[in-house]
Amino acid sequence: GLSDTAGGAFLTIQKAMTVAFVDYDLGGFGLTVQVRAGTYAEVVSVNGEQTGAGTISVIGDEATPSNVKVNGFSMSGCRCTISGFQILSSGAHGLVVSDGATVRQKLNEFSVTTNAHIFLIGGKLSAAGNYKITGNAAYYIIAQTRGWYDMSGVAVDHSIARSFLQQFCFLS
């Protein structure tokens, strides 16, 4: 919850994000959810806008994203920043941005994903810092129906040969 202790911290990223989005009026300020190293067998899902202007940041290990593994993020209608995670998914997509969400991502590592590393449908994603592609996927990015991605001035490390079973990028 509100303290970084064994008894005070939330057990899941999902619980922390739910509390941040439901219980707090940001009033123009930012709120940070700090995530400790570990493997989180969950898809963190946010559906709806937070109360009050401001952005919620969920931050793992920005120096070594592979220390904080998560099975994906699904962000719908919200304003947030996702940073410092190894994002992998055996179910579908690694990072989903949809329905008017505005998401910034940086210093993440996109690992093995069944479908797309990034899936955009009616949402805006911007890369606010360098990141890596370290795992195979069917697609790197799928952007559909007003899906928008800005990665201006950002370096993407894909120095290890990757296999994209369908296409690197699919736009419709």
**How confident is the model over 129-169, as pLDDT tens digits?**
999 999 999 999 999 998 999 999 899 998 777 888 888 88
User: Is the pLDDT reported for residue 1 higher than 80?
Assistant: no
CA-CA-CA-CA torsion sign (171, 148, 75, 107): positive
Calpha distance 95→110 (Å, rounded): 9
CA-CA-CA-CA torsion sign (13, 18, 19, 24): positive
State mean pLDDT over 51-71.
94
Residues 63 and 38: beta-carbon distance below 8 Å = no
